[in-house]
Structure 1
Amino acid sequence: MDEDVAVVIEDGEDIRELLAQVLTQGGFAVHTAADGATGVDLVREHDPIVVTIDVNMPGIDGFETARQVRAVSSAYIVMITARGDEIDTLVGLQTGADDYIVKPFRPRELRARIEAMMRRPRVLASTHPSPPHPSAPHASGARQQATGEVAVVRGSAPSPGADSAASWSEGDAEHAPLEHRGLRLEPGARVVELEGAEVELTRSEFDILRMLLGSGRRVVSKMQLAGMLRGERGEPDHYLSEHDARAIEVHVANLRRKLGESPSEPRWIETVRGVGYRRTA
């Protein structure tokens, strides 16, 4: 069986070698680049399933590199940077990154995040369907419809979804569509419709929306959402880091913006202060 391919785009030689070592130990065939332009060329040449990108690089920075990678690839993107400001997290996720790790990081944490991402369906980089990665939990029968890193979202009335956040992950591909206030989500097809209009969501935004709609009126905590994005089952028992909490907040803010929802007058997603989120009544 062919090895999965990873591309490391990092200008720091020590970090680049560390990342290559971690990914190689994880079973990847790794290609490295010291700048964004070379990294994008490697992505075009090798069609990786994972790309790590440093934010601070000579030439084009990591954000622009991520945009260019996302334009030609559906690879899982992890942004790696020494900066931890919220604006950097926001920009990184808006460029299509799937996760964002601040230096210094633990190699085991990076490997765990990548393994979790690969348990989620890989969104296609073209309009021609092809099978999701075999490590995705519901690869069989899942029809991917996307352009770039986005899941195609299109609308419509009260949710028939499950009553608990934990049940969201059971048999996604077989679930009936989730509908609420003109918003329609089809889990198996990874398609959402909003009153007939298509909306573009990233993989993480789609999965968060699916969990919230499928949980009825139950509150879904930020820890549960972070655990879901990492592929954890049931109630996660790990500590919710500041990075995790900020990433969830940014994903939800981006989701609301794309749906045209005001946090002060929510149509679909209510904020439960100090806890998390839930579907509106």
Structure 2
Amino acid sequence: MTPAPAPAAARRAVVVDDEVALATLVGGYLERDGFAVTLCHDGAQAVDVVREVRPDVVVLDLGLPGVDGVEVCRRLRTFTDCYVVMLTARAEEVDTLIGLSVGADDYVTKPFSPRELMARVGVLLRRPRQSTAVPPAGPPPLQVGALRVDVGARETHLDGRRVELTRTEFDILAALASRPGVVLSRRALIDAVWGPGWVGDDHLVDVHVLHVRQKLGDTAKEQRFVRTVRGVGYRIGPGE
């Protein structure tokens, strides 16, 4: 699919799937929703395409031949924070966990309704995006021990060193840090980050929390910053 030239302000999407018919179908729905769409059917090529197109969202098949979706997503996260929605034909939780642990923002299991996929994309794009413009004065940065979460600048620093979080990871950490002492359930975090209209597996939150912990140097045993409250959810720790 070669879309007609789009206005400079048009949203851009890249669809990566080796099933040409499915990629074309998804691309058609995205185009009807106002996206300039680029299709790609090869994982290795997808990285170069995304680097060139600089999309707002990538719809990425997990089961690509050769360089699979997990590795593609891992490479994308070295240079872009665009939203990534992973498509998988395998419903086993391990596939979802692996895909999300490398920076995917959401996942959809095949077979799926294109309208469901578009609804997921719409939810992601309604979330705040980092801008190069000078932002209005925001709330003061949140401090948790040596961890500094600047919601206005959407930046996280630990011991003065910047921690690179995906948008979803940052939003979860900010939601917890802004409510010290409060335990947030998975559903409460989904409502705060994805919005109350989101439909899917609440355990999506667990994967993103795991990745946040890894980037902050925490483990499930040593929970300085994000603590699990068993059977309830998560709360921000004291940072010690």
TM-score (normalised: structure 1): 0.73
Q: Which runs of 5 or more residues in structure 1 are unaligned?
A: 124-128, 132-139, 143-172
Q: Does 1:188 align with 2:152?
A: yes
- Mapped partners of 1:238, 1:76: distance in 2: 16
| Residue number in structure 1 paired with 2:135 | 141
Q: Secondary structure at the match of 2:173?
A: helix
Aligned residues: 231
For the residues of structure 2 that align with 1:30 and 1:106, how far apart are their CA atoms? Answer: 19
Q: Does 1:54 align with 2:61?
A: yes
Evaluate the alpha carbon distance shift between residue 88 and residue 238 of structure 1 in structure 2; reply closer, same or farther with a 3 A threshold: closer
| Residue in structure 1 matched with residue 26 of structure 2 by the alignment | 19
* Whole-angstrom distance in 1 between the partners of 2:158 and 2:26: 40
User: Are the structure 2 counterparts of residues 141 and 217 from structure 1 closer, same or farther at C-alpha, using a change threshold of 3 Å?
Assistant: same
Is 1:215 aligned to residue 172 of structure 2? no
1:224 aligns with 2:200: no
Identity among equivalent positions (%) equals: 44
Give the direction of change, closer, same or farther, for the CA distance of 1:95–1:274 in structure 2 (3 Å limit).
same
Partners of 1:263 and 1:174 in 2: CA distance: 32
Please, which runs of 5 or more residues in structure 2 have no aligned partner?
A: 1-6
TM-score by length of 2: 0.85
Amino acid corresponding to residue 271 of structure 1 in structure 2: T
- Pair 1:119 & 2:126 matched: yes
CA change 1:238–1:88 in 2 (3 A) is closer
Name the counterpart of 1:146. none
Hey, what does 1:63 align to over in structure 2? Answer: 70
3-state DSSP class of the match of 2:14? strand
**Aligned pair partner of 1:92 in 99, 117, 122:** 99
1:6, distance to aligned residue in structure 2 (A): 0.9
Residue 233 of structure 2 corresponds to residue 269 of structure 1: no
Q: Specify the alignment match of 1:130 in structure 2.
A: 132
How far does the alpha carbon of each residue in 1:127-161 deviate from its partner, in whole angstroms, 9 at most, with x for none?
xx734xxxxxxxx607xxxxxxxxxxxxxxxxxxx
Residue identity opposite 1:269 in structure 2: V
Bigger drift between 186-195 and 263-272 goes to: 263-272
- State the alpha-carbon separation in 1 of the partners of residues 60 and 156 from structure 2: 29
Write the letter of the residue equivalent to 1:130: T
Q: CA distance change for structure 1 residues 279 and 47 in 2, over 3 Å: closer, same or farther?
A: closer
2:123–2:198 contact (8 Å) kept in structure 1? no
Partner of 1:106: 113
Between 267-276 and 24-33, the greater mean CA deviation after superposition:
267-276
Once the two structures are TM-superposed, the CA of residue 9 in structure 1 deviates from its matched residue by 0.7
Segments ≥4 residues shifted beyond 4 Å: none
> How far apart are 1:263 and its partner, in Å?
3.1
CA contact (8 A) 1:178 1:185 kept: yes
User: What SS class does the counterpart of residue 201 from structure 1 fall into?
Assistant: coil
Q: Residue type matched to 2:139 in 1? A: H
Q: CA 1:27–1:277 in structure 2 vs 1: closer, same or farther (change >3 Å)?
A: same
- 1:18-72 residue CA offsets vs partner (Å, 9 max, x unmatched): 2112211211111111212333333233222111111112221112222333334
